[in-house]
Amino acid sequence: MKIRKRNNVQIYGNGTTPIIFAHGFGCDQQVWEYIIPDFFEAYQVILFDYVGSGRSSLEAYSSERYNSIDGYAEDIIEILDELNINEAIFVGHSVSGMIGLKVAIERPDLLRTNIMIGSSPHYLNDGDYQGGFENEDIRELLAMIDRNYQEWAKYMAPISMKNTDQPKLTEELEEMFADQNPEVIRQFAEVTFFLDMRDELKRNTVPSLLLQTKDDTIVSKEAGTYLSKHLPHSEHIEMEAEGHNPHISNPDEVTHQIKEYVEQKLWKSS
Amino acid sequence: MEEQLNHAPAGYLLLSVSGTILEMNETLRTWLTTEETWEDDSFYSLLTRASQLYAETYFLPTLAIHETVEELYVVLCTKSGSRIPVLINAHRRKNNIECIFVQMKMRDYYENELLSQKHNTERIAEEMRKAYEDLQQVMEDYEVKRKELLQINQQLEDKATTDPLTLLKNRRFGEEKMLEEMQKGTRFSILLVDTDHFKQINDTHGHQAGDLALKQLARIFMTTTSEHDVVIRFGGEEFLLIFPTATEDMLHNIAERIRKQVAAYQFHHGRLTVSLGGTSRRAEESMHELLERADRALYQAKKGGRNQFIIDDNKKNRPLL
């Protein structure tokens, strides 16, 4: 299957510097809609959906490939190879920051930098490490996904349909997305929330920027601190924005931080 | 807040787009068993940890993109720690988020029942699928083993019914074959063939020459008979040939052909002849009686000077089949 179709790859912008935005668990490329317009002028903007999310090809999903973040990292590697891109600027939200790290370890040639928004190396509490969640919290979340997955699926319906004049079409699309296997969402949740990348951090060689917010209910203070302390070649910025989705709640600040880092630091140093 | 909304039979919550609590009605406050306002707290502070995760990854992003969320299931957590399952409908209006909460304690009970039944069913289906796979595997293994056994049996059977020197079938096989033909009730004919002066070959040329002569004889018998006929090494230098479809009349031609071929053949050690006695089975005749009559014919062939065929067609005793 063509990778561009498989991952619903969309390319925008007039620039030549490639910047790829990777969505986190439970959503799709639509979450970047407030951010990307500011990059159109000077960048080649690449959006995609992981297999199993958004409008990717569900038939490409296999529970073997996607039972760890390796399969998701493989998606990114294959997309960049397919587009013949290296040295891309990678922006990953939440678990995608860690998926980007995996790519940086496996194929450092592909990434110029890895910018992580609200990423955590490990969500569970483990001895002295306070990831923020107990095992039972995650179990409860998985049970909630079971109950709500139809609603969740609707959320993946295309954004362009939200004010449509053709309610029937929207309904059909919602049904189509509701058909997505709840097991896929569930497995992505397990991969995300049981992830432990703490031992991998030291293998990083790609310059990384950690964008963290105040009061992120998903990334504990300690998880953020642990990440900035143990990830080589990284710098850490605490933003004014609050919550786990600053790219939605404070897109201007996120855009500003990315551009500042890339254009003022990365480019001037090289 | 209007009196009616404040005491409506549903919780009402007004949030900023980033999830800060702006207003809460009395009903919701009562559920949460609190006098406090909760205002300026985050929406997440009302939720269990798992619901926080869920709301953060689903609720606010969905509102940002689709501006409305319907029938979202989450669990509220009161300050005293008890849990209230609720359904939320929410939408964005005038840059705020308005939410309506409906308790669903009973529904929650039913849904939990349903979900646990669903999981049970899925588990059972999975177990059955697994069991079926295992069974398939067992059957495949069994089939492989069965074929191996059949092959081994065939090999053993061949070994037990084959004469190792000439690779002809042995006496046991010959007797079974005759019994089989007798059971079928077919009329069949037999030839007993004895090598003339075989002892002399052994004495003069050695046992190896004798063995070689027997092998060469076996080859002649095989090539002068058809595939339905059976050639048996009956013992020592004696052979039994079984012709399931040959009549007494045909037997004469067959026997003469064999006799001539042998006599004309250049054996390793030199020349060799055979004597032949033959007959066809008669009705009700036992194998023993049949063989005895053939043996008598062979004896007469020997006595008559060897290198000849005698047929026992004495019709005095019993009629032909």
Closest CA to A124 of A233, A230, A9, A218: A218
Residue A77 lies in a domain: yes
Q: What's the pLDDT band for B321 if we cut at 50, 70, 90?
A: very low
CATH superfamily of B169-311: Reverse transcriptase/Diguanylate cyclase domain (3.30.70.270)
Confidence at residue B98, expressed as pLDDT on a 0 to 100 scale: 96
CB-nearest to B61 from A27, A133, A154 is: A27
Confidence at residue A142, expressed as pLDDT on a 0 to 100 scale: 85
Contacts of B61 in chain A (CB under 8 A): 26-27, 31, 155, 245, 248
Higher pLDDT, B119 or B303: B303
Complex ipTM value: 0.71
Contacts of B75 in chain A (CB under 8 A): 140
d(CA B232, CA B240): 5
d(CA A212, CA A193): 18
- Terminus-to-terminus CA distance in chain B, angstroms? 119
For residue A215, give the chain B residue with the closest CA.
B42
Pair A263, A209: CB distance under 8 Å: no
A236 pLDDT exceeds 50? yes
Count how many domains chain A has. 1
Q: Residue A74: which CATH number? A: 3.40.50.1820
pLDDT (tens digit, 9 = 90+) per residue, B131-156?
999 999 999 999 999 999 999 999 99
Pair A30, B65: CB distance under 8 Å: yes
- Tokens standing for residue B73: 């299931």
B318 pLDDT exceeds 70? no
Residue A146 lies in a domain: no
CB contact under 8 A, B58 and A148: yes
- Tokens standing for residue A55: 């409008």
Helices (H) and strands (E) in chain A, counts: 10, 9
Q: From the CA of B64, how many Å to the nearest CA of chain A?
A: 7
Domain carrying residue A69: 3-122+197-269
Q: What is the mean pLDDT of chain B?
A: 90
Closest CA to B244 of B260, B218, B226, B258: B226
Residue corresponding to tokens 């060469």: B216
Pair A51, A76: CB distance under 8 Å: no
CB-nearest to B73 from A30, A144, A215 is: A144
pLDDT (tens digit, 9 = 90+) per residue, B189-202?
999 999 999 999 99
Q: Which among A155, A162, A192 is the top mutation candidate for probing chain B, defined by the most B β-carbons within 10 Å of its own β-carbon?
A: A155
Residue A172 lies in a domain: no
Contacts of B65 in chain A (CB under 8 A): 30-31, 33, 155, 159, 162
Residue A173 lies in a domain: no
CB-nearest to B65 from A30, A134, A148 is: A30
Residue A127 lies in a domain: no
- Tokens standing for residue A107: 């194929």
Q: Which CATH class is domain B3-103?
A: alpha beta
